[in-house]
Structures are given as C-alpha cells and as structure tokens.
Amino acid sequence: MSTAPIVVVHPDKQSVADGGAARLVTTLIDLQAAGRAPHVSLTGGSLGSAIIASILEVPAHRAVDWSTVSVWWGDERYLPAGDADRNDTQNDAAGLDRLGLDPAKVHRVPGPDASSSAEDSADQYSATVRGSGGGEFDVMILGVGPDGHVASLFPGHPAQLTTDAIAVAVHDSPKPPPDRVSLTFECLGRSDRVWFLVAGADKAEAVRNGVDGAGPELSSAAQVRGIRETIWLVDRDSATELPA
Ligand SMILES: O=C1O[C@H](COP(=O)(O)O)[C@@H](O)[C@H](O)[C@H]1O
C-alpha cells in the first residue's frame, strides 16, 4: 500500500527545514508515547543537515528520548569515516551528535576504511537493516536533486532499478563523488512516512515530476511513497511548476 503525495509549501528553505524538524519532533513524541522505539532515516545534501540544525532549535526536542531512536541513512557517499563529503559527517557537524543518540543505534554506511568495496559496504548495510527487522522505517527523510534523484538512485542510472535488494552499490554517479551506496526503491518504500525536503528554483521541475508521479526515467522521487503518508515539504521557489 502507498499513499498519494501531499504538498506543503513553506516560504523559504529555512522554513522547510524548520517545518520538517517540528514535524519530526512531534512524530517521535507520538511514536514513543505509543510505545514504539522509532526508526528514522536521514539524508545528505542541502536540507539533510539543515533539518538537523533546526531540530536543535525546537524546544520540544528535549521531550524526545533520543536514546531509543535508531538512525539510518538513505544513502552515503563511499568515502572513509569522517570524510567531510560524507552525509553522516555533515549531519554530525550540524549537531546530530548533540541529540543524545545511542551510538549503537546510529547505523552508518561502511566506507572504504571498513569495507572492501561499495558492494561489500552495501552487503554489510543490508545485513544491518535486515537484522533490525528488515527496514521498517517510521520516518524516511529524503532530499531531491535537480535531476530528480533521491538517496543515490539517479534517473537512468543502471543501479536505479535494482530489485530484490535492500541496498545497492552505485558507481559512476552523475553527481560526485562517483562511488556511493544507496537503499533501493523497495527498501525506501518500506517506510510509514516519506518526507521529501526540497528548496530552490533549480528543483521546480524535479518537484513537479515527483508530485505528478513521473516515470523512473524522469524521477526517482516519484517512485518512493510512504505506507501511511507521503509529504513534499517544499519552498515557494521549488513549487512554481505545481498547479496553484
Ligand atoms: O548527493 C546527494 O544529493 C541528494 C540531494 O542533495 P541536494 O544538495 O540537492 O539537496 C541527497 O538527498 C543525497 O542524500 C545526497 O547523497
């Protein structure tokens, strides 16, 4: 089962990050009140770190028991731990490591320092996901590139349509760095809530294609929908090609 996209237009990029952060904090409080130890998947890119910084500004983030929250990444650049271009490094720098997470529940994608290849990294990450219950994410946060990519699944790239897998190695990525590891569409779709965070005029076409449900050759984002909800949190500049 999957849900039709809902679009929420915010005034600007900061409001997208703030809106996503407030939504995440409230969702985590509700999930924990219902007895759930939540699983959240983070993203890299321009809004991936902005939302982390915004979470720290939401006073109610102190009402979340972060020690029970499991953290994942939808994709990672295949670079050594601590590399400044890794998504998790950028999320850490934005304040992820100040939330009070249990390091054992922060599931980082192995880099070349901890795996023999991107394929090995994808296998290791898949095993970790499988070991946690097969990847049933409460919240999947995704950025969207101007080319319509989500995670590291690029339209037209051979890795994009990988099936029967949790994670896949991506080589020759159109966006640097060339080697990456990504969750597959199948895995991304095993999420109760999928939230796309997008800002900028250069992403107007990607937002239109994603919301319209364009085919995979035009949009990876359109292939991912949440089981309970699919929400596009966009700024005015990236919403200009949507119907009024
Ligand atoms: O390379 C990546 O790009 C996307 C989108 O990034 P943005 O800077 O255009 O917002 C991101 O979601 C993904 O995690 C990252 O690896």
**Residue 43 Cβ contacting ligand 1 at under 6 Å:** yes
| C-alpha–C-alpha distance, residues 127 and 144, integer Å | 26
- The low-confidence residues of the chain, meaning pLDDT below 50, are none
Give me ligand 1 centre to Cα 43, in Å: 7
Ligand 1 contact via 46 beta carbon (within 6 Å): yes
pLDDT digits (tens, 9 = 90+) for 160-170: 999 999 999 99
147 CB within 6 A, ligand 1? no
Q: Please tell me the predicted confidence (pLDDT) of residue 2.
A: 86
**Total domains in the fold of the chain:** 1
Pocket test for ligand 1, best of 41, 43, 170 (most atoms within 8 A of CB): 43
Q: Contact 192/200 with Cβ under 8 angstroms?
A: no
Atom of ligand 1 lying closest to residue 76 CA:
16
The answer to whether residue 106 is domain-embedded is yes
Q: What is the pTM of this model?
A: 0.98
Q: Does 214 fall in a domain?
A: yes
ipTM exceeding cut-off 0.85 for this assembly: yes
Determine the atom of ligand 1 nearest the C-alpha atom of 74: 14
SS3 84: coil
75 lines ligand 1 (CB under 6 A): yes
Measure 46 CA to ligand 1 centroid, in angstroms.
7
Residue 102 belongs to a domain: yes
How do 229-235 and 191-198 pair as beta strands? Answer: parallel
Average pLDDT, the chain: 97
CB 107 near ligand 1, within 6 Å: no
User: pLDDT tens-digit profile of 106-146?
Assistant: 999 999 999 999 999 999 999 999 998 767 899 999 999 99
Q: What is the CATH number for 122?
A: 3.40.50.1360
> Which numbered atom of ligand 1 lies nearest the CA of 199?
10
Instruction: Please check whether residue 244 lies inside any domain of the structure.
Output: no
- Distance of alpha carbon 28 from alpha carbon 46, whole angstroms: 23
Q: Is residue 227 part of a domain?
A: yes
Range of the domain at 84: 5-239
User: What is the model's pLDDT at position 234?
Assistant: 98
CA distances from 120 to 92, 109, 117, 167, 170 (A): 24, 11, 5, 10, 12
Query: Within a domain: residue 231?
Result: yes
In a domain, 146, yes or no: yes
In short, whether 183's Cβ falls inside 6 Å of ligand 1 is no
Q: What is the pLDDT of residue 135?
A: 74
The single-letter code of the amino acid at 53 is A
Q: Is residue 147 part of a domain?
A: yes
Residue 47 alpha carbon to ligand 1 centre in Å: 8
Which pLDDT does position 134 carry in this prediction?
66
